[in-house]
Amino acid sequence: MSASLEVPDQSAVSTAEPSRTFWRSVQEALRGSRQDFTEGSIGRAILLLAIPMVMEMVLESVFAVVDVFWVSKLGADAVATVGLTESMLSIIYAVAIGVSMAAAAMVARRIGEKDADGAAKTAVQAIALGIFLAVPIAVVGVVFAPNLLSILGASSSLIQTGSRYTAVVLGANVVVLLLFLMNAIFRGAGDAAIAMRVLWVANIINLLLDPCLIFGLGPFPELGVTGAAVATSCGRAIGVLCQLFVLSRGRGRVVIRREHLRLHPAVMVRLLRVSASGILQTLIGTSSWLGLIRILSSFGSAAIAGYTIAIRIIVFAILPSWGMANAAATMVGQNLGAKKPERGERSVWIAGFYNMLFLGTVGLVFVVWPQLLIGLFTQDPQIAPFAADCLRFVSYGFVFYAYGMVLSQAFNGAGDTFTPTLMNLFCFWLWEIPVAYLLSHRWGLGPRGVFLAITTAFSMLAVIAALMFRRGRWKLQMV
């Protein structure tokens, strides 16, 4: 592992050709680059891919922030409705992310092989699969929305006011799936700037419609909390229409034509095979946080509140790292398709090094000034110490996380979603949760034991991922 983590030589990591400045490369990335990512400077290729991917992830998070901002004006029941429905959506997000992993890997492989028709066929099968998965969820969501809220413990008043919101959100889950899925197709193809611009459009629509439909401004009806669901669904639906327009009009590397509009069972089976472990991988990762919350709950609401604030800060701080990880996944997929596995491997270590520089700097800030950052969110003397402890202890492992995120996504980019699934199962369920319980309760560390368990789990994931990646079996993955 140590040999692979050496600082790359300057010729390999140069982010621009001599005739181009760094900022011109940034502009090209945001505008949309036509570079062949299987040729030329690896560092520059990662830069061109990562910048719009980072922006895409930030924009995706805006949907939830905007909705909660406006809905909070309606009272506790409205906010609780959004929270309960979001917990149901976590399953849909897991499905969407899992299918997206498979679609991105397969499209990247076809693009690397210079097989444009194969990439288009894969895109069509992925879209069809997304629709097939979304329709049953929509039917259940629309018909049984009150029952689903009741199962999650909603009060009768909340069910009465919030069931329509839940029905709209779950009924429109097809646009959530398709938005994730087609943006993954663009990322796999190397058209990350298109995915970014689609989310700009969707977010602008949501920003404009949210207050209008919630409060009935101008000619719009006053729909209350349901208006937030309608606004978000409309924004995403328009984003999906933009995606379909781009795919059908030949504006990107993947172009869907009439002759591609047929179902290919063999391609769909491969998508399902890769997607299944991708969905499980996501569910294992997200569900492990519920176990940690359960352990923390024994220490009171102040500990949970402090943990929640710190984790929100951490999640937003590491968003750029996910963009870097997604860039590495695209580089792996395309270079495997181009029969250049060594270039794909080199791309991953360089992306991990860049990520380490970024997250290491962020982690240092969090470790040195946690109270200052927490003070921006709460001054409560009971909550703030827990939040500062969580921020500091989790940040100790940021250097490891940097490589772990990139390496996990590299496996996914190769189409090997099974290996990260096993790593998640071991590190998060068989290690993190038992260790959190032992450190916090048996060894008397309290909430700090939970925070330390998070650090050790993610650090262990990085080490195991590095060892598995160096074995090279991912280079033999067929998708």
- My answer on whether 226 and 138 are in the same domain is yes
Residue 24 belongs to some domain of the structure = no
Residue 323 belongs to some domain of the structure = yes
- My answer on whether 294 and 421 are in the same domain is yes
Q: What is the pLDDT along the chain (479 residues), one digit of tens a residue?
A: 334 444 444 444 444 444 455 677 777 777 887 888 999 889 889 988 988 988 877 776 676 667 777 887 887 778 778 777 877 887 888 889 999 999 999 999 999 999 999 999 999 999 999 999 999 999 999 999 999 888 877 788 888 888 999 999 999 999 999 999 999 999 999 999 999 999 889 989 998 999 999 999 989 999 998 999 999 999 999 999 999 999 999 878 999 999 999 999 999 999 999 999 999 998 898 888 878 888 888 888 788 888 878 887 888 778 788 889 999 999 999 999 999 999 999 999 999 999 999 999 999 999 999 999 888 877 888 888 999 999 999 999 999 999 999 999 999 999 999 999 999 999 999 999 999 999 999 998 999 999 999 999 999 999 999 999 999 999 998 88
pLDDT of residue 22: 67
pLDDT of residue 465: 97
Extract the tokens encoding 196.
Answer: 């970014």
Residue 422 belongs to some domain of the structure = yes
pLDDT of residue 357: 95
- My answer on whether 350 and 430 are in the same domain is yes
The residue with tokens 């690397």 is 112
- My answer on whether 126 and 184 are in the same domain is yes
- My answer on whether 332 and 471 are in the same domain is yes
Kind and range of the H or E element at 445? Answer: none
- My answer on whether 330 and 200 are in the same domain is no
Q: Is the dihedral of CA 97, 98, 101, 107 positive or negative?
A: negative
Residues 6+ apart with CB under 8 A from 269: none
Phi and psi, residue 38, nearest 5° = -95, 5
- CA–CA separation, 121 vs 107, rounded Å? 9
DSSP string, 5-44: GSPPPHHHH-SS-TTS-HHHHHHHHHH-----TTSS-HHH
The alpha helices in 113-217, defined as continuous H runs, are: 116-143, 145-151, 156-171, 173-189, 192-215
Residue 21 belongs to some domain of the structure = no
Residue 3 belongs to some domain of the structure = no
**pTM of the model as a whole:** 0.85
- My answer on whether 222 and 322 are in the same domain is no
% helix / strand / coil in the chain, to the nearest 5? 80, 0, 20
Residue 19 belongs to some domain of the structure = no
Residue 268 belongs to some domain of the structure = no
Question: Where among 211, 231, 263 does a domain terminate?
Answer: 263
Range of the domain at 178: 48-263
pLDDT of residue 458: 94
Question: Where among 263, 297, 319 does a domain terminate?
Answer: 263
The residue with tokens 């990646």 is 469
Question: Where among 263, 296, 330 does a domain terminate?
Answer: 263
Residues 6+ apart with CB under 8 A from 101: 184, 274, 275, 278, 281, 412, 417
- My answer on whether 244 and 331 are in the same domain is no
- My answer on whether 294 and 176 are in the same domain is no
Contact 15, 25 (CB under 8 A): yes
- CA–CA separation, 192 vs 189, rounded Å? 8
- My answer on whether 153 and 240 are in the same domain is yes
Kind and range of the H or E element at 429? Answer: none
- My answer on whether 193 and 312 are in the same domain is no
DSSP string, 132-149: HHHHHHHHHHHHSHHHHH
Number of domains observed in the structure of the chain: 2
- My answer on whether 315 and 460 are in the same domain is yes
pLDDT of residue 23: 75
Residue 6 belongs to some domain of the structure = no
The residue with tokens 């590299």 is 410
